[in-house]
């Protein structure tokens, strides 16, 4: 059993961070916050426009600052953007201030779930599969590095995932502050 003030979901685009996060937050009585939505409401514009105007680097700076602020709170469930783990300072903060769940998903599922999506700038390309494969190769080790628990969402819908993941979290995570949050990854 590990103590951490917040629950955090990491994982690639289409892994279900927002839909599962909302349900898990209800289940555990936490406030749900989607980091991308926070960035959009603070800037008053879309992630796509931020990428267009400030480039990916500008977006990452906003993402880092937003997550640092969100993680300073307690009793929140934070759904991060798929690239949040790329930043080393964010990775440390996630581990310090959250019990981190890595939602795993395969490329075929991602492509299917995101087929109609036009809001993600990194997928504005004719060859989404190559982009998703490259991002997975770069980021998979980082998701694993920060995760306290890995959970495969490939074959389950949001409701079943919430039920199963909820049971695991009951066994493994205790809400609350601990000065030194032990990092100890398990896989489901
Ligand atoms: C990104 C994922 C998106 C969003 C942005 C960049 C990424 O979030 O932060 O489009 O780099 O993988 P979701 O994972 O919620 O789609």
Q: Give 3-state DSSP helix, strand, coil % of the chain, rounded to 5.
A: 55, 15, 30
**How far apart, in whole angstroms, are the C-alpha atoms of residue 37 and residue 29?**
20
> What pTM was estimated for this model as a whole?
0.94
pLDDT at 156: 87
pLDDT at 179: 46
DSSP 183: -
Q: Is the pLDDT of residue 186 over 80?
A: no
Query: What's the chain's average pLDDT?
Result: 94
Ligand 1 atom closest to residue 63's alpha carbon, by position in its atom list: 9
pLDDT at 187: 61
Residues with CB under 6 A from ligand 1: 13, 17, 36, 47, 81-83, 120-122
Nearest to 159 by CA among 32, 23, 26: 23
Two structure tokens written together for 172: 């493994």
**Residue 148, burial from CB neighbour count under 10 angstroms (0-12, 13-18, 19+):** buried
CA 165 to chain centre: 15
Q: Is the pLDDT of residue 178 over 60?
A: no
Mean pLDDT calculated for residue range 115-144: 97
Q: What is the pLDDT of residues 73-112, one digit of tens each?
A: 999 999 999 999 999 999 999 999 999 999 999 999 999 9
**How far apart, in whole angstroms, are the C-alpha atoms of residue 183 and residue 171?**
16
- Centre of ligand 1 to C-alpha 35, Å, is 10
């Amino acid at each position: 059993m590990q103590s951490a003030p917040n629950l955090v979901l990491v994982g690639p685009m289409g892994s279900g961070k927002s839909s599962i996060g909302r349900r898990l937050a209800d289940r555990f009585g936490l406030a749900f916050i989607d980091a991308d939505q926070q960035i959009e409401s603070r800037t008053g514009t879309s992630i796509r426009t931020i990428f267009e105007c400030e480039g990916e680097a500008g977006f990452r700076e906003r993402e880092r600052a937003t997550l640092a602020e969100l993680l300073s709170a307690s009793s929140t469930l934070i759904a991060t953007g798929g690239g949040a783990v790329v930043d080393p300072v964010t990775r440390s903060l996630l581990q310090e201030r959250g019990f981190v769940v890595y939602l795993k998903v395969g490329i075929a599922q991602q492509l299917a779930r995101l087929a109609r999506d036009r809001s993600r700038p990194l997928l504005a390309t004719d060859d989404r599969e190559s982009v998703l494969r490259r991002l997975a190769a770069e980021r998979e080790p980082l998701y694993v590095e920060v995760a306290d628990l890995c959970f495969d969402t490939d074959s389950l819908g949001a409701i079943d995932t919430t039920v199963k993941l909820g049971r695991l979290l009951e066994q493994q995570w205790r809400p609350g502050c601990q000065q030194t949050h032990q990092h100890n990854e398990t896989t489901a």
